[in-house]
Amino acid sequence: MATVLSFAGMRPPPQLADQVAAPPYDVINSEEARELAENNLHSFLHINKPEIDFPSEVDVYSDAVYAKGGENIARFIKEGTLVQDSIPGFYIYRQSLGDHEQTGIVCLVSADDYENNLIKKHELTRPQKENDRVQHMQAVNAQVGPVLMIYAAEKKLSDIVQQCCQKAPEYDFDSDNVRHQLWLVNESTLLQEISEVFTFVPELYIADGHHRSAAAVRYREMCRVKNPDHTGEEPYNFFLAVLFPHDELNILGYHRAVRDLNGMDPQSFLGALAKTYDITPTKTQAMPAAAEQFGLYLDGQWYQLVLQHRENLGTQGDELLDVAILQDTVLSPLLDIHDIRSDKRIDFIGGIRGQSGIERAVNSGEFVAGFACYPVRIEQLMTVASQNKLMPPKSTWFEPKLKSGLVIHYLDK
């Protein structure tokens, strides 16, 4: 079983929660962050993206930027914008977007479990992004962005969570059309019940936050080497996560845009595609309605692509993903794009931006074509991770996004 711990979090007082709460550091760029935090000294972006307190030409990976994050978290603590809870607890975090509702448990998970593969991964990480989060943790002495994780739904745990949500929440505010609610659970009986149920949960799955997880484990190793009295119980041995039952999360498609057609004109490219796909021009149903279908936006026109011969492709969990099918039938053989982690000819459009986001990207002239992908199913993600396989980069877009700054894990060494 994976270790799931309660902890004494650091968080804003209720009256400041909506001002502090900020998007994850990696879903907005520096200019977007500057605009969001303008005239808001309480915005957590001053900690999570401290480059916003410098001119736009500053190197976001400079020592001065990381140091500013440390200064800002010290200011938040001194001014009472962030307050340390006095006793350990779990935190119940509910997000509501339209008819969709998801409720997770904010907790600590173990770096040992990550290394021992009780926490399952499905993506590779990039050294630069890992290094960034390690340096950020060193500067702010905290884990500030929770890792989104999944567990196989347990009815008993869902019942306990619903019981915890009967009282008035500590936080309740709207942001970007999402309602965010947070409850503190520190009654000893409930803490024990939640912990006991997790003893029957064999594995946890990273949904979003592979770089934060890997960086936390690297940071633990750095601290362990420096600490001759290391016991394994220090705060740095654990990292911040929000655990959701698998049947509540909402995955959107993660779309692709390409800058050229590998020397082909649009009609030649459509002719090459026709050997593998049935192609239908469309004005209404641009986004794929089912697996093994894609939307193609090319030369101002949408097309629906339906795979002709599925039997010619692989049968393993990672090979069944639509993003893998697109890679194997279009990106690699036709466009000569093999490594989408490094090839500059391809970029990605998050699912929340949808059809209009693809159209804007192509109509801007920066890209020549966009591909709309059907969402990965949560069961597919869990299957791939359980098989210790990897999904292609940028396969899943989870929505709504977790807010940063509502609860952080302060690494008081």
pLDDT tens track for 105-134: 999 999 999 999 999 999 888 888 899 999
Please give the pLDDT value at position 126.
80
pLDDT tens sequence across 192-244: 999 999 998 889 999 999 999 999 999 999 999 999 999 999 999 999 999 99
* DSSP structural state of residue 287: S
Domain 254-374 has CATH 3.30.1760: yes
pLDDT tens sequence across 16-62: 999 999 999 988 899 999 999 999 999 999 999 999 999 999 999 99
Q: Is-contact 294 373, C-beta < 8 A?
A: yes
Please give the pLDDT value at position 394.
85
Burial of 317 per CB tally in 10 Å (0-12, 13-18, 19+): buried
Rounded-to-integer distance, Cα 42 and Cα 79, Å: 10
Domain boundaries in the chain?
4-250+399-410, 254-374
How high does pLDDT run on average in the chain?
Answer: 93
Please give the pLDDT value at position 30.
94
Higher pLDDT pick, 311 / 177: 177
Helix boundaries (H) for 38-62: 45-48
Q: Is-contact 396 381, C-beta < 8 A?
A: yes
Instruction: Determine which helix (DSSP H) or strand (DSSP E) holds 20, and give its type and residue range.
Output: helix 17-20
The two structure tokens encoding residue 44: 């957590």
Percent of the chain with pLDDT strictly greater than 90: 81
Residue 317 has pLDDT above 60, yes or no: no
Higher pLDDT pick, 189 / 320: 189
Q: Is-contact 77 149, C-beta < 8 A?
A: no
Local confidence band at 334 (pLDDT 50, 70, 90 cut-offs):
very high
Burial of 30 per CB tally in 10 Å (0-12, 13-18, 19+): middle
Amino acid at 136: H
The two structure tokens encoding residue 288: 């794929």
Q: Given the structure tokens 């093999």, which residue do they identify? A: 338
Local confidence band at 309 (pLDDT 50, 70, 90 cut-offs):
confident
For 30, 114, 340, the CA distances from 375, given in Å and listed in that order, are 28, 26, 18
| Global pTM exceeds 0.85 | yes
Pick the closest to residue 257 from 167, 350, 127 (CA basis): 350
Local confidence band at 260 (pLDDT 50, 70, 90 cut-offs):
very high
pLDDT tens sequence across 148-172: 999 999 999 999 999 999 999 999 9
Please give the pLDDT value at position 350.
85
For the chain, give the number of residues.
Answer: 413
